[in-house]
Chain A
Amino acid sequence: MRHITSITDLSIAEIDELILTANDIIAHPDKYRELCRHKKLATLFYEPSTRTRLSFEAAMYELGGQVLGFSEAASSSAAKGESVADTIRTVCCYADIIAMRHPKEGAPTVAALHATVPVINAGDGGHNHPTQTLTDLLTIQAEKGRLDHMTVGLCGDLKFGRTVHSLITAMCRYPGVQFVLISPEELKVPSYVKIPLKSGNVPYTQTTDLASVMPELDVLYMTRVQRERFFNEDDYVRLKDSYILTPEKLESARPDLIILHPLPRVNEIAVAIDEDPRAKYFKQALYGKFVRMALILKLLEVHA
């Protein structure tokens, strides 16, 4: 039995295998329709979600399985003070696999310590979001044809952006990848995210200026400044409009750039960009369902 709390729980070979499976699901969906019949996925979402929860649920339904769970902490016994460990022990009685989102960092690790079924981290605070990273990797692979030898720009809230942390951790393992980290001083990536960059001699630069680095980028990964991660509203208000991507700012970008965003967006990507062929963030949301189907199959050890 395996748990996925961090993207590093998967080797590069396993990620490649998941991408292959996801592509096969896209090409031959009928092969996969009944593979999880009589299996149940529990979605334990202590924090709001649209894409992650619905894509997990859609993934399980498309595999022929069923779904149970809760979409806010208030509708679970967490509201009565139940610990993560006790909730997990209980849910393991009813489900074959668990996807869990929690506002506190490390909660899925606690869940994994007590679970008798596989636990998938569906986002923990500002820490990790490995299935978003699988989504991002599938999108980049599908849209660029490779995951190596490219310059990836990450822009916005790099401090609390869990999708950013997991994506850097994953992509720094591919050869020839370099990062451009674009953020306000206050929202730079935490030191633990830089550990694999330094130990692997992965080139990266940090800047506050998106426009100056735009021509270098193969991938631009925009993120939202997340109100829910700030203890101080004033700090949020001061930083929330740090980067707004507009058609004018894209003029210096490469024609084969791809623009990704884990969504939801607020105003950091102008709606006018949605029609630009380089905007891939809604397609990215679709890829998320397929790669989660692949991951569920892998963790349940079900084969086509």
Chain B
Amino acid sequence: MNIDSIQNGIVIDHIKAGQAMQIYDFLELGLLDCPVAIIKNAASTKMGRKDIIKIDSELKIDLNALGYIDPEITINIIRDGVRVKKYHPELPELITNIIRCKNPRCITSIEQELPHVFKLIDRARDEYRCVYCESKAGI
């Protein structure tokens, strides 16, 4: 299987096998008109199997939000065909409109225009809570 290497864009590597589509949906990659490749179940010496996403465009979004989904993911920034940066996403202090508050008593349940904002409460336990009602976040 041949997938062209990208010139300017992002490679999201070391995604847990089977999780690529969740990230694809989460980043709304379906809305892009640039080439996007999803490689599922690729062989990995470290993980056994992994997923990879290649995006042939420099997205202007905060990829650290991916840290909420899986902090082990590797993000590679490619410029002129060369990898210029490689990093693991850090858990962001705030995540906005990535997950929704599920508390039916939260003000966000009746005010549709409100952003759903969660704050990192405990980095060691990846625990986020709604800034309005303090309910625990869950994907």
Show the binding face of A for B, using Cβ within 8 Å: 83-85, 102-107, 109-110, 124-127, 191-192, 195, 229, 231
A104 touches B129 (CB 8 A): no
Q: Kindly state the separation between the CA atoms of A126 and B104 in the bound complex, as whole angstroms.
A: 11
Stretch at the interface among B7-15, B43-51, B61-69, B107-115: B107-115
Q: A83-B113, A195-B121 are in contact. Are A125 and B132 (CB under 8 A)?
A: no
B121 touches A231 (CB 8 A): no
Q: Kindly state the separation between the CA atoms of A126 and B121 in the bound complex, as whole angstroms.
A: 21
Closest residue on chain A to residue B111 by CB atoms = A83
A104 touches B106 (CB 8 A): yes
Question: Is B134 part of the contact surface with A, judged by Cβ < 8 Å?
Answer: yes
The smallest C-beta distance from A166 to any residue of chain B, in angstroms, reads 12
Can you list 15 contacts pairing A with B, beta carbon distance less than 8 Å?
A: A83-B111, A104-B105, A105-B105, A105-B133, A106-B107, A106-B108, A106-B133, A109-B131, A110-B107, A124-B107, A125-B133, A127-B133, A127-B134, A191-B136, A192-B135
Closest residue on chain B to residue A127 by CB atoms = B133
The smallest C-beta distance from A36 to any residue of chain B, in angstroms, reads 29
Question: Is B96 part of the contact surface with A, judged by Cβ < 8 Å?
Answer: no
The smallest C-beta distance from A101 to any residue of chain B, in angstroms, reads 13
B106 touches A105 (CB 8 A): yes
B107 touches A192 (CB 8 A): no
B136 touches A84 (CB 8 A): no
Q: A127-B133, A192-B136 are in contact. Are A106 and B106 (CB under 8 A)?
A: yes
Q: Which of A105, A126, A191 contacts B107 (CB 8 A)?
A: A105
Question: Is B103 part of the contact surface with A, judged by Cβ < 8 Å?
Answer: yes
Question: Is B73 part of the contact surface with A, judged by Cβ < 8 Å?
Answer: no
Residues of B within 8 A of A110 (CB): 107, 111, 114, 132
B111 touches A125 (CB 8 A): no
Q: A83-B111, A83-B113, A126-B105 are in contact. Are A105 and B132 (CB under 8 A)?
A: yes
Q: Which of B109, B113, B135, B136 contacts A104 (CB 8 A)?
A: B109
The smallest C-beta distance from A229 to any residue of chain B, in angstroms, reads 8
Q: Kindly state the separation between the CA atoms of A49 and B113 in the bound complex, as whole angstroms.
A: 28
Q: Kindly state the separation between the CA atoms of A240 and B113 in the bound complex, as whole angstroms.
A: 36
B136 touches A105 (CB 8 A): no
A106 touches B132 (CB 8 A): yes
Residue from A85, A110, A126 with most neighbouring chain B CB atoms (10 Å):
A110
Q: Kindly state the separation between the CA atoms of A191 and B122 in the bound complex, as whole angstroms.
A: 13
Chain B 92-107, CB-CB to A under 8 Å as 1, else 0, gives 0000000000011111
B104 touches A231 (CB 8 A): yes
Residues of B within 8 A of A107 (CB): 107, 132
Q: A83-B111, A195-B121 are in contact. Are A109 and B132 (CB under 8 A)?
A: yes
Question: Is B130 part of the contact surface with A, judged by Cβ < 8 Å?
Answer: yes
Q: Kindly state the separation between the CA atoms of A9 and B7 in the bound complex, as whole angstroms.
A: 50
Q: Which of B104, B111, B134 contacts A84 (CB 8 A)?
A: B111
Q: Kindly state the separation between the CA atoms of A192 and B107 in the bound complex, as whole angstroms.
A: 17
Residues of A within 8 A of B134 (CB): 105-106, 127, 192
The smallest C-beta distance from B66 to any residue of chain A, in angstroms, reads 26
The smallest C-beta distance from B118 to any residue of chain A, in angstroms, reads 12
A104 touches B121 (CB 8 A): no
Residues of B within 8 A of A231 (CB): 104
Closest residue on chain A to residue B131 by CB atoms = A109
Q: Kindly state the separation between the CA atoms of A126 and B131 in the bound complex, as whole angstroms.
A: 15
Chain B 116-139, CB-CB to A under 8 Å as 1, else 0, gives 000001000000011111111000
Residues of A within 8 A of B108 (CB): 106
A104 touches B110 (CB 8 A): yes
Residues of A within 8 A of B107 (CB): 84, 102, 104-107, 109-110, 124
